[in-house]
A = this chain, B = another copy of it.
């Protein structure tokens, strides 16, 4: 079937493709082996186990985000760009997003965005402790936004049917929720993301103005 030799990158690529095509639940070692036209146990010559394979998936996805950093730009613009770069994950690999977010990796791929962000913040004049704090705040916001965007978090990212679903809430028990059904049922993820991002950036800008 495939003349090229089995290899770790080929296995990871097959896993990513499978996740995007059929969802993370569909991933099994047998399934991946099938995709590659290969025996199941052959995979274990290149990957120690399934958990490590999923880590590799996360790492690969993470390493593919494209940073277009301009060191001469305002730090606010640089932060914006880095945050948006992260959000690309949800676009390029929507079904992998949960995998990426739900495993913690201490590999280089996971560290590089951290390094960039810290460098940006430090060069903007923030202290070390401050930079770490700000970074953590942004990551929390970004991770939470991605989860909503890929439809995993309970706040009405319309999974394409919720328009109908949402009308069902009892208007006397949940007056606000039901009167805002239209707004809750629709979600322009990009606008939503930008809104919170801008909010955070502005808040941090005034923070910096106050004591530094």
The 7 closest A-B pairs by CB, nearest first: A140-B144, A144-B144, A203-B203, A137-B196, A118-B176, A143-B144, A132-B183
Q: How many copies does the complex hold?
A: 2
Q: Are A129 and B199 in contact (CB under 8 A)?
A: no
Interface residues on A, range: 35 or more
Q: Are A148 and B131 in contact (CB under 8 A)?
A: no
Interface SS, A side: helix
Q: Which of B155, B179, B180, B195 contacts A139 (CB 8 A)?
A: B155
A94 at the interface (CB under 8 A from B): no
Residues on B with beta carbons closer than 8 Å to the beta carbon of A142:
144
Q: Are A155 and B114 in contact (CB under 8 A)?
A: yes
- The minimal Cβ–Cβ distance linking A77 to chain B, given in whole angstroms, is 18
A120 and chain B: residue at smallest CB distance: B176
A92 at the interface (CB under 8 A from B): no
Given contacts A133-B192, A195-B137, contact A114 B144 (CB under 8 A): no
A154 at the interface (CB under 8 A from B): yes
Q: Which of B153, B187, B204 contacts A199 (CB 8 A)?
A: B204
Q: Are A143 and B153 in contact (CB under 8 A)?
A: yes
Residues of A within 8 A of B (CB): 98, 101-106, 108, 110-112, 114-115, 118-119, 122, 128-129, 131-133, 135-137, 139-145, 147-148, 151-155, 157, 159, 162, 165-166, 169, 173-177, 179-180, 183-184, 187, 192, 195-196, 199-200, 202-204, 206-207
Q: Which of B128, B143, B180 contacts A132 (CB 8 A)?
A: B180
- The minimal Cβ–Cβ distance linking A105 to chain B, given in whole angstroms, is 5
